[in-house]
Amino acid sequence: MNQNLDQHAVILPPAMLGMLGGGQLGRFFVIAAHEMGYQVTVLDPDANSPAGKIADVHICAAFDDKAALLSLANTCAAISTEFENVPADSLSFLAEIKPVRPSAYSVAIAQHRVSEKNFLKHAGLPVAPFAVINEIEDLPNDDSDIYPAILKVARFGYDGKGQSRVKNQHEAQLAFMQFEREECVLEKMLKLDYELSVVLARDAHGNVAAFPTAENSHLNGILDVSIVPARGSDAISHQAQKLAVLVAEKLAYTGVMGVEFFVCKGELLVNEIAPRPHNSGHYTIDACVTNQFEQQVRVMTGLPLGNSYQHSSAVMVNLLGDIWPADEKVAPEWQHALNNSQLKMHLYGKQEARQGRKMGHFTVINASRDEAIKQAMQVRADLNIGR
Ligand code: ADP
Ligand code: MG
């Protein structure tokens, strides 16, 4: 970070903001920034990226293209990222010229499972038992109580990709070889009571606004449904918020982050950190005074954080490419969903529907959480999700 840059300067509309990454998170960022009167330049190598298509300027280039990064830094007042695998070096390069939030340091920790786990452990935060695997000899033998376990590649994993469930050392060896002996984390497979996440924003002064805790269920390693506020123990939901704030503080984090938790035998464990808005925080668009993307704009521009109060219970359901008919020109049968006056539909404008690809989501809001769950599950079933 360039110490000469004024990290507390306030950037007002219609300044140009820079976004690394053009996926759906970037698209929602562009929408939030536009609503507030800012302009946005998106850098993404995909000519058809969801955010690039609606940005004021799309720089179509690789995330490590120096000329493209220079142009981003020279034309934007501040820069953020929506893509956690953006090279940390690119963020450091940009930070010499303009404010970058979150910092290269915190993104570097969150994007590498080994540094992430070590950071959490040293910060005194509870995590699942794990071993770092650099070589095949590092895999514990069958006497170890780590099995059954999940082998996870340290880098570039997301949505359950780069993960393999293994019952013993032999299976772990095969999986490790399949991952081409890339550095991995071997994590004990836990019997989860349920999963939670907390999205929060932390500004450059250290002020924090945490959103209510979401209860998440996954399908094939991909987020399926978020219910907010989470059911289950309020004390645990509250504790999850406290731990998420602690993670942000220990990381000296500036920006929006998502922290995923496991609840196992009634105890919270931190699963992972996302250094960006989080899929489980999409409910904030329709159910909170300020949504997670507006918070991202606010942190970047040095504005005070918005109120994160949740005014309606919310249930978010992801729409994956799996429910698109094989004929790409046909869309799923949306009518029933769109007939519901409490349902907010969000489609990301992606042309190609692939298995497991996040194409959109919907959120049902209601004063009653039970009613929101009932309606969302009905629409989810009608769309054949999970069948
Ligand atoms: P990703 O980066 O793909 O989100 P995660 O580590 O969060 O990777 O794993 C995805 C999902 O797989 C989790 O949300 C959880 O449902 C399941 N999972 C991951 N690790 C474990 C574990 N140690 N025990 C039980 N379930 C796990
Ligand atoms: Mg995860």
Distance 185 CA to ligand 1 centre (A): 12
Residue 10 domain-assigned? Answer: no
Evaluate whether residue 123 is within a structural domain. no
Pairing of strands 163-166, 149-153: antiparallel
Among residues 188, 215, 239, which one ends one of the domains? 188
The CATH number of whichever domain residue 27 belongs to comes to 3.40.50.20
- Residue 296 and residue 349 in one domain: yes
Q: How far is the CA of 106 from the centre of ligand 1 (A)?
A: 21
- Whether residue 6 is contained in a domain is answered as no
pLDDT in tens, the chain (387 residues): 777 788 889 999 999 999 999 999 999 999 999 999 999 999 999 999 999 999 999 999 999 999 999 999 999 999 999 998 899 999 999 999 999 999 999 999 999 999 999 999 999 999 999 999 999 999 999 999 999 999 999 998 777 789 999 999 999 999 999 999 999 999 999 999 999 999 999 999 999 999 999 999 999 999 999 999 999 999 999 999 999 999 999 999 999 999 999 999 999 999 999 999 999 999 999 999 999 999 999 999 999 999 999 999 999 999 999 999 987 678 899 999 999 999 999 999 998 999 999 999 999 999 999 999 999 999 999 999 988
Is residue 176 domain-shared with residue 198, that is, in the same domain?
A: no
Domain match, 245 and 326 both:
yes
Write out the two tokens for 184. Answer: 């991995």
Q: How far apart are CA 201 and CA 259, in angstroms?
A: 11
309-337 pLDDT per residue, tens: 999 999 999 999 999 998 767 889 999 99
The protein residue with its alpha carbon nearest to ligand 1, atom 23, reads 189
Tokens 């019997």 found at: 191
- Count of structural domains, the chain: 3
Structural domain including 50 reads 16-100
52 and 146 together in one domain: no
Number of CB atoms found within 10 A of residue 119's CB: 20
Q: Rounded to whole angstroms, how far apart are CA atoms 102 and 121?
A: 21
Looking at the chain, how many residues does it have? 387
Which of ligand 1's atoms lies nearest the C-alpha of 188? 23
Determine the distance separating the centroid of ligand 2 and the alpha carbon of 259, expressed in angstroms: 9
Q: What's the pLDDT tens digit per position in 27-45?
A: 999 999 999 999 999 999 9
Specify whether 233 is located in the same domain as 366.
yes
Which residue of 271, 320, 358 sits with most ligand 1 atoms within 8 Å of its CB, as the best mutation to test the pocket? 271
Does residue 321 sit in the same domain as residue 172?
no
| Token couple for 275 | 């250094």
At residue 276, what are phi and psi to the nearest 5 degrees?
-175, 170
Comparing CA positions, the residue from 33, 28, 55 lying closest to residue 42 is 55
